[in-house]
Amino acid sequence: MFPQAGNFLLDLSQESPEACEAEIRFLNFQGNYEVLRKSRHTCEITGNPSTLYNAAFIREILGVIYSGESLDGIRQCQLPDGKFHVRFRDADRCGITADEAEIGSIIGGDGKVSFGNPDFVIKVIHDSKWYLTKLEHRRDLSDMESRRPPVKPFFSPVSMHPKFARFMVNVSRTTPGDTIIDPFCGTGGILVEAAIMGRHIIGNDFSSDMIRGTGQNIDFYGLSAESLTSVDIRDLAVNKTVDAVITDLPYGRNSRVTGHGIRGLYQLAFEKFHELLRERGTAVVAVSDRGMLEMSGELFDTLSIVPVRQHKSLTRYYAVLERK
C-alpha cells in the first residue's frame, strides 16, 4: 500500500544521475508531487510518491519524520507502533558520523529494536542537512535482474537490460491502461516491462524470428500483447491511435527494409511514429548517434535527451519526444 501524501526523501541511484533526474521529472507529469530540494544523492519531495514506486533509478523512498540542521529535533519525534532498527548513511560523504544505537534510544527504541524481523526500518541520512525517515519502499534489484536477457527463453547479445527498458516506459508519460507500441521490438524487452507495469502492448519487428521470440518471452512471464506483427515499418498499421511509441532504434548496420541505409529508415520511422501516436503523444527512442534525432524535428518537439555511457566507445541517447 502506498503511503499517504506527505514529505518523502528519495535515495537516488548513482548508476545514471541523468536518467534518475529524468524519471523524477516525467513520472510527475500529472503533478503528483513537488520537488523541494535535490542533490546528486537525494531528492526531497512533497505530495504523493506512488508513481515513483516503479522507478528504475531510485533506490529507496523514505517518509520524512524530521529534517533539520542538527539531530536535536528527533527527541520530539513520534514513531509508529512496532519493532524497528536504525540505519545511518552519510549520503554526501562529508565524513560525518552518527551512532545508530544512540539514535534508536533517543527515539524510543528501548525494548523495540529488532534486526531480524522489524515492523519498519528507520533511516538517518545526512545530505547537507539531517533527515530522520521511515523506509517505505526499496527498489527490488533482484526482480529486474531476473529478467536479464540471458535468463529469458529468447534473447540477443544486444538486448536491452530491463532497468533501461523500464526507464523508457517511465519517461513515456503513460499510466496503467494506456497503449504503447514498440515498432522495432527485437526480443521484446520493452514490451515485457511495459506490460508488467500495466500498459497494453503492441509489438512489431521486421524479423519474423524476433517476433516469435518476443511471443515466447511475453508468454514466459504470463503476459499478453494486443498484437505482434512482422512487417516493414512503412506497412505498420494498428486499429487505434497509441499513447506512446517506445523503441530502441536499429543502429550500427544498414537497413534491410528501406534500401536507403539507416538514415532512410530513421526518417521513415519518425514519420510512422507521428502517424501512430495520438495528439501530443510521446515517442521515447534510444539511439547511438545523437545527430539522427534531428530527423524528428519537423514532427516532434524534443522534451529531453538523456546520455547514458555504455562503455568507453559507446554512449546511448534516450530521447523523449512529443508529437506536434
For 52-83, how does the pLDDT look when each residue is reduced to its tens digit (9 = 90+)? 999 999 999 999 999 999 998 999 898 989 99
Query: In the chain, what are the domain boundaries?
Result: 6-138, 146-323
* pLDDT category of residue 108 using cuts at 50, 70 and 90: confident
CATH of 146-323, one of 3.40.50.150, 3.40.1410.10, 3.40.50.10300, 3.30.920.30: 3.40.50.150
Residue 2 pLDDT level (bands cut at 50, 70, 90)? low
Determine the 3-state secondary structure of 297 from DSSP.
coil
What secondary structure does DSSP assign to 55-115, as a single string?
Answer: -SSEEEEEEEEEEESSSGGGGG--PPSS-EEEEEEETT-------HHHHHHHTT-TTTB-S
Q: How far is CA 36 from CA 58, 124, 169, 210, 244, in A?
A: 16, 19, 25, 45, 29
Instruction: Return the percentage of the chain with pLDDT > 90, whole number.
Output: 84
Q: What is the pLDDT of the chain when averaged over all its residues?
A: 93
pLDDT of residue 255: 44
The candidate with the shortest Cα–Cα distance to 242, out of 296, 323, 161, 171, is 323
Q: Is 170 helix (H, G, I), strand (E, B) or coil?
A: helix
Model pTM score: 0.93
Which CATH number does 6-138 carry? 3.30.2130.30
Which residue has cell 507529469?
29
